[in-house]
């Protein structure tokens, strides 16, 4: 497994030079937050990721988790690393100061989450979902619920989960069967089984607060009859101390393809005591607070696996000698040339690099939109940011995880046969990456959400907002001939995006299955255009720095070179997705289901 080194220079470039962090915070009235504070946090987080978490990545994968006497035990070193994580105050960064949090905006913590996740994604799963539990209780809980659960969730003394799916329903939550019976004291007794619960049980915190979907007696069928409940692993006494063990047990640990250091549990609820959070039968609406947070968190996973694959492959490609360059020896004194001289190795390395760096820009930008939603005093500004974030979330989650999976696969390929061997760590990175396109809504589900709900059902309002932002950027810099190689193709696909959307909408008026036929290609097209916009912005900043002779000139030259690769070798993929969309529905539906095998 490669030693992870946080790309601090690239993070600072985005935060300070592209996204103008200080201006962003000042505009929101966050005087106590500035670039100097964020930089100090990044330095410390980079040390924690490299020194504490990265060394546990391979050992956690090899050891995995164990279930003994009803208790999940995490791999060696995980519990101790978590204690130091809490001691360092990392879980509380974005928490409400009323409950022990530091009150920092979400954008300040996003690079920290990326570093921790890249160093050890399996470990990151334990604290990762707690933030969503906090957000859900903050937004939908009663004052009493907030006072009971938020202080220790905020500090990380307790962790949280979300318990959605069941064996028979998968992502179709309208089919779930877990029941919640009201009790005379205002609580509920929950009975049922949930599967695929990340960090559903472990030994790292004294309590785990489960956010659980269940049905009340007489509730309507389908998604309209789902309610949301707080169900702790350990009940809490009136003085806040741990009480009796609740009726929720880990029945088994899933045997997975990857992220083996993360306990993915089957949880059995047997007369488990819980409390309703939010209105009756509106649980799915409330849960979206949790799910949207988790989806943006999963987008980070795409960046993480692309970055780790790139770092490992780059080091190997510089050192591995194999064959000679087609244009003549580049290492004449050695028996062969380093494989980094070969164009195909460069193609794979630059693909991973451009996905990691472009994806980082997208997620950091989305986190700034989150700041506006949470902190702005301007209602209209909050509304627009919320709508734009809703549009970009499925793109970030699904596109970046698909692209990150591709980059992780390139990491294996650069190593050749050695990439398939465990000791190098590239095969673990690929295995760990594979789940990212599935959980928190598969790529297909995210694609339907994007095209169906976020675009067509809103008559393209949010999409027009986004394409206007891209259009405005292209117009603003169109007179700069040095940027034409980026702006002209970006403007073309941006315009084509709107035309293609109208064509899909027209077909869907005749047959709504056209939406499903087009959706994944539409999402991937959207992702390539969106990353193209961020690469154009990064290229524009790098060009200005080079023109003015400012800063690290080599860094800016390399940034321009990577942008050029993206526009010449990655953005043209949009043409293939457009062609597939135009291929339509009929060729997908021509075969009867029973004839697929022949």
pLDDT for 289: 67
Find the range with the poorest average confidence among 445-459, 566-580, 584-598: 584-598
How far apart are alpha carbons 85 and 454 in whole angstroms? 37
3 state SS of 75: coil
The fold for domain 286-449 equals Butyryl-CoA Dehydrogenase, subunit A; domain 3 (1.20.140)
Calculate the CA dihedral of residues 398, 153, 232, 148 and round it to 10 degrees. Answer: -130
How distant, in Å, are the alpha carbons of 279, 307, 437, 559 from that of 310? 46, 5, 19, 15
- Structure-token match 């949090």, residue found: 101
- For the chain, domain boundaries: 286-449, 459-589
What DSSP string runs through 17-38?
A: IIS-HHHHHHHTT-TT--HHHH
Contact 206, 158 (CB under 8 A): yes
How far apart are alpha carbons 455 and 501 in whole angstroms? 8
How far apart are alpha carbons 122 and 398 in whole angstroms? 19
The encoded tokens of residue 59 equal: 């050992």
Contact 372, 28 (CB under 8 A): yes
Annotation says 440 is catalytic: yes
- Mean predicted lDDT score pLDDT of the chain: 96
pLDDT for 169: 85
Q: List % helix, strand, coil for the chain (3-state, nearest 5).
A: 65, 10, 25
pLDDT band at 589 (very low <50, low <70, confident <90, very high): very high
pLDDT for 97: 95
What DSSP string runs through 473-532?
A: HHHHTTT-GGGHHHHHHHHHHHHHHHHHHHHHHHHHHH-THHHHHHHHHHHHHHHHHHHH
Contact 263, 200 (CB under 8 A): yes
How far apart are alpha carbons 450 and 39 in whole angstroms? 34
- Structure-token match 């250091």, residue found: 261
311 phi, psi to nearest 5 deg: -60, -45
In three-state form (DSSP H/G/I as H, E/B as E, the rest C), the secondary structure along 314-347 is HHHHHHCECCCCCCCCCCCCCCCCEHHHCHHHHH
Q: How many CA atoms lie within 13 A of 55 on its CB side?
A: 9
pLDDT for 185: 97
92 phi, psi to nearest 5 deg: -90, 5
Q: Kindly name the residue from 440, 485, 514, 544 that is annotated as catalytic.
A: 440
pLDDT for 301: 97
3 state SS of 157: coil
The encoded tokens of residue 149 equal: 């659960």
The encoded tokens of residue 181 equal: 């019976």
Question: Residue 191: how many CB atoms within 10 A of its CB?
Answer: 16
pLDDT band at 166 (very low <50, low <70, confident <90, very high): very high
pLDDT for 596: 82
pLDDT band at 290 (very low <50, low <70, confident <90, very high): low
Q: What pLDDT, in 10s, does the model give residues 236-266?
A: 998 888 999 999 999 999 999 999 999 999 9
Nearest in space to 487 (alpha carbons), one of 467, 498, 473: 473
Residue 595 has pLDDT above 90, yes or no: no
Strand partners, 179: 191, 215
For range 311-325, the mean pLDDT: 97
DSSP designation for 17: I
pLDDT band at 284 (very low <50, low <70, confident <90, very high): confident
Q: What pLDDT, in 10s, does the model give residues 442-458?
A: 999 999 999 999 999 99
pLDDT for 38: 96
How far apart are alpha carbons 119 and 116 in whole angstroms? 5
Q: Which residues contact 568 (CB under 8 A, 6 or more apart)?
A: none
Contact 507, 380 (CB under 8 A): no
pLDDT for 105: 94
């Amino acid at each position: 497994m490669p030693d992870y080194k946080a790309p601090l220079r690239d993070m600072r470039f985005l935060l300070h030079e592209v996204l103008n962090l200080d201006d962003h915070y000042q505009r929101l009235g966050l005087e106590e937050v500035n670039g100097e504070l964020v930089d100090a946090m990044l330095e410390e987080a980079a040390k924690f990721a490299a020194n504490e978490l990265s060394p546990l990545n391979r050992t956690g994968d090899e050891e995995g988790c164990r279930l003994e006497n009803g208790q999940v035990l995490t791999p060696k070193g995980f519990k101790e690393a978590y204690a130091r994580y809490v001691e360092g105050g990392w879980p509380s960064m974005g928490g409400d100061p009323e409950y022990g949090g530091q009150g920092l905006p979400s954008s300040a913590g996003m690079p920290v989450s990326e570093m921790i996740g890249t160093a050890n994604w399996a470990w990151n799963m334990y604290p990762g979902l707690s933030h969503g539990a906090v957000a859900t209780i903050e937004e939908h809980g009663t004052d009493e619920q907030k006072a009971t659960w938020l202080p220790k969730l905020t500090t990380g003394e307790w962790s949280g989960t979300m318990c959605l799916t069941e064996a028979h329903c998968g992502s179709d939550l309208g089919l779930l069967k877990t029941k919640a019976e009201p009790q005379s004291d205002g609580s509920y007794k929950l009975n049922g089984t949930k599967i695929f619960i990340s960090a559903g049980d472990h030994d790292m915190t004294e309590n785990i607060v489960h956010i659980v979907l269940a049905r009340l007696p007489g509730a309507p069928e389908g998604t309209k009859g789902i309610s949301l409940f707080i169900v702790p692993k350990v009940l809490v006494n009136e003085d806040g101390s741990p009480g009796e063990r609740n009726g929720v047990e880990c029945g088994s640990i899933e045997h997975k393809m990857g992220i083996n250091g993360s306990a993915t549990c089957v949880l059995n609820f047997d007369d488990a005591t819980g409390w309703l959070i939010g209105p009756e039968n509106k649980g799915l609406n409330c849960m979206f607070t949790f799910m949207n947070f988790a989806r943006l968190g999963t987008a980070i996973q795409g960046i993480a696996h692309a970055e780790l694959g790139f770092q490992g492959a780059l080091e190997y490609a510089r050192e591995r000698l194999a064959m000679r360059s087609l244009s003549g020896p580049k290492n004449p004194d050695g028996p062969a040339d380093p494989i980094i001289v070969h164009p195909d190795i460069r193609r794979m390395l630059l693909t991973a690099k451009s996905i990691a760096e472009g994806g980082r820009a997208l997620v950091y930008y989305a986190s700034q939109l989150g700041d506006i939603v949470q902190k702005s005093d301007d209602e209209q500004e909050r509304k627009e940011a919320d709508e734009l974030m809703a549009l970009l979330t499925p793109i970030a989650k699904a596109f970046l995880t698909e692209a990150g999976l591709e980059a992780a696969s390139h990491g294996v390929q650069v190593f050749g046969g050695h990439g398939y061997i465990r000791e190098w760590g590239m095969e673990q990175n690929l295995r760990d990456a594979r789940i990212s396109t599935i959980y928190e809504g598969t790529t297909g589900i995210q694609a339907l959400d994007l095209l169906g709900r976020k675009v067509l059902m809103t008559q393209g309002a949010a999409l027009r907002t986004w394409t206007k932002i891209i259009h405005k950027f292209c117009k603003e810099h169109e007179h700069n001939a040095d940027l034409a190689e980026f702006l002209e193709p970006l403007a073309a696909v941006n315009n084509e995006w709107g035309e293609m959307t109208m064509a899909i909408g027209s077909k869907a008026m005749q047959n709504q299955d056209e939406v499903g036929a087009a959706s994944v290609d539409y999402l991937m097209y959207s992702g390539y255009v969106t990353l193209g916009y961020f690469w154009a912005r990064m290229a524009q900043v790098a060009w200005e720095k080079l023109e003015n002779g400012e800063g690290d000139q080599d860094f800016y030259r390399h940034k321009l070179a990577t942008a050029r690769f993206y526009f010449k070798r990655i953005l043209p993929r949009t043409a293939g997705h457009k062609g597939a969309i135009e291929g339509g529905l009929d060729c997908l539906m021509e075969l009867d289901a029973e004839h697929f095998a022949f």
